[in-house]
């Protein structure tokens, strides 16, 4: 699809109007999440890679202009959009970093028409990837040292969403994905077991297990709950023993009381000498269920996490915004009820005392590190990253995250303060706007 | 992306195993939603178009085999997958039709390897599109005769999801979308207003309104809540009056007490003689908020509905499944706790007495209409549809839907019964499986 059409119509209308009026001064927009959902103690920045790829490739071409004309835009508007590309600078928090509400994830500085046009896509990509990475990170916390596998593909919001989910969950430490295209595209480990349908296609469960184990001897995970779970475990033990696959095989539980079934299965496997045979659990799992299973001492070695992580079931969106904070060197803000924003380009300094949202050009507090780094200059990417580096950043930030933020139930994020200079600027701009706009200008 | 990789690894492993073993008898899989979320009284079938496109184009080629080898699949497995295409038959409920839990949305009959491989993508597409169409249909019910516009692009789960959302919302009667690419792709009406940033980029709100109205005289919707909503309405009235745009202009409210602000704005507009100037509302709206606003008598002409519809906030996934119901002319089912399925290929008959889930070859009850129709034969599409036809089906089904199913709060779906023949088959297969599998086969 043409990148220039991947936007809301109002972005194009505003961009055209700015260009028709010669308003080409630089504007800075700040993208951040206003409030965390109650079920989140932190967010994990994700989605930057696709944003930079989009910005580099954005160009309004003749096909786009024809499409816009067909949609009813007038000639002056389409003419004003001709040739538009993204030529600006971007600062952003690298993928994998832990962030909180009101901390800019990304700031764009560009001629205002360009900076405006990209709002829709940047919000779309960062909001979704960040919400999934944040949800998946909680599964990672709940699972402790157990392995996690992304099983979400069948229930994500389309196939492209499944790719984002696989990538985001890998960044926060999922060991593998069931998603073949994502594994291929991002260099992830793909894993897969078997479905009930495979068992049902054979005359008996044991024949099905034997066929699957013969054809997949290197990694035969047998699904034992098609008919009766305890009977299924018994059939699996028979096949694993006959084929001598104890070290490479496993069983999967997908329904019922997983804690109790896992204990029964572990005992049966151990009694048969299959102490290395792993127990895999799946079926409606999320961080809450995983935490409960491990607290209950369920002997489960790996968890398949699907739908609830893949759609971020308890918080399927984030309250992300992309706000103009400066135009032509003038800090700006809006005053709408409950939606006022801090003006000016920003930086987030993370230090021993916690995070400070400051103005971009402030000096960092002693011992503090800036979270936003330059990632694009003059429309060209200057930040080259890898999934492994993003994962390392996540692990390091997770290590330093206060315990209350990491709680699965009733988490609470650490306080984030605004710098004195940012507060002073907010007050000054606020006063100026109130003085100006309360009197009608008719 | 290569279609053959758009699946879970276990589908490929099972497909390869079936083919290695010469198990090429036809299998029938049935795709349905097990239970409705509590907030839904009905579903709207959606997503079939993309499924058929995928099935027609599916082919395992050499690049796919190389990718699978790189992911660690052995040579016997990849060799077994070489050349796989979809050659089967598909029956499905056409898009736009109202459906309920346990009614097949789609049934695939094909050699079992092919029918198995397509599970992931079919579930992915139908689950997501159906959940969005169902959510959007509720906004449509709440809005009565007022216009609805899809504003979801910025918060959907990726850009491709935004296209599905725009299309699904159009099928249930949304008047327009903000999504330019979707409007272009599906022939929808694109609309757009202005953002707070546009207002902030000018020295004053009134200058911004005048500039925007001059550049967009045919459809100037002025956003009035950047600084102070009542002052904003006053500035909008001044500009609309000066430029003589009363019939083509409007104002948009995006924050605060929308009912009260809409009443104030309507009175101010009417007092200024701008009785044709429309009031547009947006900002966190969904069917609940729209119903409350209209019940409160808010004089709002059109609603922009974004995030909550675009992610189906209160039910971001559906409990969809794709179950083997027959293999090699033998009806099959699984017995897992709480997850037993009715065996055999099916049909849904809709008549004056409600819906009956029956076996495919049963005669329809008197006056009843079958919901599933043949849509693909031998791997080729036989069903050619249009968005307008899907919309007509939705309107017709909505008209016949009982009131309790249409309630915004605490809806309840009508009862769906299973035919006597289907029940008898379930009992027979169940007995046979219990007799067979309870005794271990070691």
- Judge: B334–A200 Cβ closer than 8 Å, yes or no: yes
- Establish how many alpha carbons lie within 13 A of residue B63's alpha carbon, considering only the half-sphere containing its beta carbon: 9
Q: Is B192 on the interface with A (CB under 8 A)?
A: yes
| Residue B76 distance to chain A (closest CA, Å) | 8
| Domain residue spans of chain A | 3-132+326-437, 143-310
Beta strands in A254-372 (DSSP E): 278-281, 302-305, 320-327, 330-331, 346-351, 354-359, 369-370
- Are B332 and A155 an interchain contact pair (Cβ–Cβ within 8 Å)? no
Res. B53 pLDDT band, cuts 50 70 90: very high
Mutating which of B285, B317, B328 best tests the A interface, going by the most A Cβ atoms within 10 A? Answer: B317
CA–CA separation, A2 vs A60, rounded Å? 8
**Are B123 and A154 within 8 A, CB to CB?**
yes
Helix, strand or coil, per DSSP, at residue A40: coil
Alpha-carbon gap, residue B384 to B276, rounded angstroms: 41
B278 pairs with which residues across the strands? B250
3-state secondary structure of B149: strand
Can you tell me the distance from the alpha carbon of A117 to that of A59, in angstroms, rounded to the nearest whole number?
11
Residue-wise pLDDT for B57-87, tens only, equals 999 999 999 999 999 999 999 999 999 999 9
The chain A residue lying nearest B339, using CA atoms, is: A255
Contact state of B201 with A433 under an 8 Å Cβ cutoff? no
DSSP state of A5: G
**Contact call for residues B272 and B301 (beta carbons, < 8 A):** no
Is residue B265 a contact partner of residue B257, using CB atoms and an 8 Å limit? no
**DSSP structural state of residue A32:** E
pLDDT tens for B209-239 read 999 999 999 989 999 999 999 999 999 999 9
Q: Which residue do the tokens 């006063």 mark?
A: A431
Nearest by Cα to A348 from A101, A35, A55 = A101
Q: Which of B240, B207, B300, B254 is nearest to A335 (CA)?
A: B254
How many CB atoms are located within 10 Å of the residue A338 CB? 7
Q: Measured between CA atoms, how close is A75 to chain B, in angstroms? A: 11
Instruction: List chain A residues with CB under 8 Å of B7.
Output: 153, 180-181
Quick one: CATH architecture of A143-310?
A: Alpha-Beta Barrel (3.20)
d(CA A271, CA A380): 62
Rounded Cα–Cα distance for residues A301 and A282 (Å): 11
Nearest CA in chain B to A187: B71
Cβ atoms of A178 and A204 within 8 Å: the answer is: no
A186/B contact by beta carbon, under 8 A: no
- Right CATH number for A3-132+326-437 from 3.20.140.10, 3.50.50.60, 3.40.50.1220, 1.20.1420.30? 3.20.140.10
SS3 A365: coil
SS3 content of chain B, % helix, strand, coil (to 5): 45, 20, 40
Contact predicate B101/B416, CB 8 Å: yes
Chain B: residue nearest A75 by CA?
Answer: B215
Residues of A in contact with B84 (CB under 8 A): none
Q: B133-310: same fold as B3-132+315-437? A: no
Q: Tokens 């079939």 map to which residue?
A: B48
Chain length of chain A = 442
CB B408 within 8 A of CB B287: yes
Chain A residues near residue B77 by CB distance under 8 angstroms: 215-216
Whole-number average pLDDT of chain B: 95
The reply to whether residue B195 touches residue A433, judged by beta carbons under 8 angstroms, is: no
Task: Please check whether residue A333 is in contact with residue A349, taking contact to mean a CB–CB distance below 8 angstroms.
Answer: no
Query: Is A179 in CB contact (< 8 Å) with chain B?
Result: yes
B2: confidence class by pLDDT, cuts 50, 70, 90 = low
Strands B147-150 and A369-370: unpaired
Task: Say yes or no: B106 contacts chain A, CB-CB below 8 A.
Answer: no
Give pLDDT < 70 ranges for chain A.
Answer: 1-2, 336-340, 436-442
Token representation of residue A28: 């800075």
pLDDT value at B336 more than 80: no
Out of A231, A332, A437, the one facing B228 most closely (by C-beta) is: A437
Share of chain B above pLDDT 90, in %: 92
Interchain contact, A179 vs B8, CB within 8 Å: yes
Q: How many helices (H) and strands (E) does chain B have?
A: 17, 19
Q: Which residue has the tokens 């953002």?
A: B195
Q: What is the token pair recorded at A321?
A: 């915004």
Report chain B residues whose CB lies below 8 A from the CB of A310: 317
Confirm whether the ipTM is greater than 0.85: yes
Ranges of beta strands (E only) in B266-379 are: 278-281, 302-305, 320-327, 330-331, 346-351, 354-359, 369-370, 373-377
The beta-carbon neighbor of A124 closest among B127, B159, B183 is B159
DSSP state of B421: H
Q: Return the closest-CA partner of residue A395 out of A108, A62, A170.
A: A170
pLDDT digits (tens, 9 = 90+) for B291-330: 999 999 999 999 999 999 999 999 999 999 999 999 999 9
CA atoms within 13 A on the CB side of B225: 21
Report the chain B residue with the minimal C-alpha distance to residue A332.
B200
A147/chain B closest Cα distance in angstroms: 17
Tell me the CATH number of domain B3-132+315-437, given options 3.30.9.10, 3.20.140.10, 3.90.1300.10, 2.40.50.100. Answer: 3.20.140.10
Cβ–Cβ below 8 Å for A201 and B23: yes
For A59, other C-beta atoms within 10 Å of its C-beta total 13
- CB within 8 Å: A124 and B178: no
Q: What is the pLDDT of residues B85-142, one digit of tens each?
A: 999 999 999 999 999 999 999 999 999 999 999 999 999 999 999 999 999 999 999 9
Instruction: Tell me the shortest Cα–Cα distance from A124 to chain B, in angstroms.
Output: 4
A147: contact with B, CB 8 A cutoff:
no
Measured CA to CA, the distance from residue A292 to residue A276 in angstroms comes to: 24
A213–B contact, CB cutoff 8 A: no
- Note whether A154 contacts B77, CB cutoff 8 Å: no
Q: Is B339 on the interface with A (CB under 8 A)?
A: yes
* Facing residue for B71 by CB, picked from A180, A195, A433: A180
Residue B367 C-alpha, separation from nearest chain A C-alpha, in angstroms: 35
CB-nearest partner of B8 from A127, A192, A235: A192
Q: How many residues does chain B have?
A: 442
| pLDDT value for B12 | 98
Largest interatomic CA distance in chain B: 90
> CA–CA separation, A379 vs A374, rounded Å?
12
Give A-chain residues touching B175 at CB under 8 angstroms. Answer: none
**8-state DSSP, A94:** P
Which residue does chain A place closest to B436, by CA atoms? A204
A326 neighbourhood in chain B, CB within 8 Å: none
Of B121, B181, B442, the CB nearest to A1: B181
Residues of A in contact with B184 (CB under 8 A): 5, 67, 70-71
pLDDT class of B432 with cuts at 50, 70, 90: confident
Mean pLDDT of B277-289: 97
- Residue contact B311–A334, C-beta within 8 A: no
Q: Which residues of B touch A157 (CB under 8 A)?
A: 128, 156-158, 161, 164, 311, 316
Contact check, Cβ <8 Å, B235/A185: no
Q: Judge whether A146 is closer than 8 Å to chain B, CB to CB.
A: no
The whole-angstrom distance between A357's CA and the closest CA on chain B is: 21
Q: For residue B184, what is the nearest residue in chain A, using CA coordinates? A: A67
Binary contact (A183, B71; C-beta < 8 A): yes
Q: How confident is the model at residue B338 (pLDDT cuts 50, 70, 90)?
A: low
CATH superfamily of B133-310: Aldolase class I (3.20.20.70)
pLDDT at B240 over 70: yes
Q: How far apart are CA B221 and CA B279, in angstroms?
A: 9
The sheet that has B416-418: what strands, in order across it? B369-370, B346-351, B354-359, B416-418
DSSP string, B334-346: ---TT-----S-E
Cβ separation A5–B312 shorter than 8 A: no
In this prediction, residue A335 carries a pLDDT of 76
Q: Which 8-state DSSP code applies to residue A154? A: G
The Cα–Cα gap between B324 and A299 comes to 31
Higher pLDDT, B384 or A433: B384
Q: Which of A27, A119, A157, A256 would you mutate first to test chain B, the one with the most B CBs within 10 A?
A: A157
């Amino acid at each position: 699809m043409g990148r220039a059409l991947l936007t809301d119509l109002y972005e194009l209308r505003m961009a055209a109007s700015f260009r028709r009026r010669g308003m080409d001064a630089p504007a800075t927009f700040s993208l951040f999440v206003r409030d965390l959902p109650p079920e989140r103690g932190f967010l994990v920045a994700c989605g930057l890679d696709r944003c930079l790829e989009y910005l580099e490739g954005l160009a309004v071409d003749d096909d786009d202009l024809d499409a816009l004309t067909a949609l009813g835009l007038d000639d002056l508007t389409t003419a004003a959009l001709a040739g538009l590309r993204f030529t600006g600078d971007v600062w952003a928090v690298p993928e994998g970093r832990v962030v909180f509400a009101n901390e800019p994830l990304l700031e764009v500085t560009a001629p205002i028409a360009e900076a405006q046009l990209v709002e829709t896509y940047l919000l779309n990509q960062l909001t979704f990837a960040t919400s999934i990475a944040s949800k998946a990170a909680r599964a990672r916390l709940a699972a402790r040292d157990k392995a996690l596998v992304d099983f979400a593909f069948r229930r994500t919001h389309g196939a492209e969403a499944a790719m984002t989910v696989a990538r985001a969950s890998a960044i926060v430490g999922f060991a593998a994905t069931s998603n073949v295209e994502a594994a291929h595209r991002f260099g992830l480990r793909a894993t897969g077991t078997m479905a009930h349908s495979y068992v049902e296609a054979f005359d008996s469960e044991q024949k099905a297990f034997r066929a699957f184990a013969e054809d997949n001897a290197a990694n035969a995970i047998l699904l034992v709950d098609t008919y009766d779970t305890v009977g299924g475990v018994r059939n699996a033990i028979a096949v694993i023993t006959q084929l001598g696959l104890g070290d490479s095989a496993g069983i999967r539980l997908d329904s019922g009381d997983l804690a109790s079934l896992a204990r029964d299965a572990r005992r049966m496997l151990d009694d048969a000498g299959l102490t290395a045979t792993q127990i895999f659990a799946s079926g409606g799992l999320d961080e809450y269920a995983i935490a409960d299973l491990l607290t209950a001492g369920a002997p489960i070695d790996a968890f398949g996490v699907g739908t609830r992580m893949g759609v971020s079931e308890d918080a399927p969106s984030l309250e992300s915004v992309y706000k103009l904070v400066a135009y032509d060197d003038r800090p700006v803000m809006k005053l709408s009820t409950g939606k006022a924003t801090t003006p000016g380009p920003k930086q987030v300094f993370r230090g021993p005392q916690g995070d400070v949202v400051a103005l971009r050009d402030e000096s960092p507090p002693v011992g503090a590190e800036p979270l936003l780094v330059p990632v694009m200059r003059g429309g060209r990417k200057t930040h080259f990253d890898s999934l492994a580096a993003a994962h390392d950043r996540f692990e390091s930030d997770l290590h330093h995250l206060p315990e209350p933020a990491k709680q699965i139930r009733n988490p609470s994020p650490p306080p984030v303060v605004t710098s004195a200079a940012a507060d002073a600027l907010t007050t000054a701009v606020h006063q100026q706007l109130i003085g100006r706009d309360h009197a009608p200008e008719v």
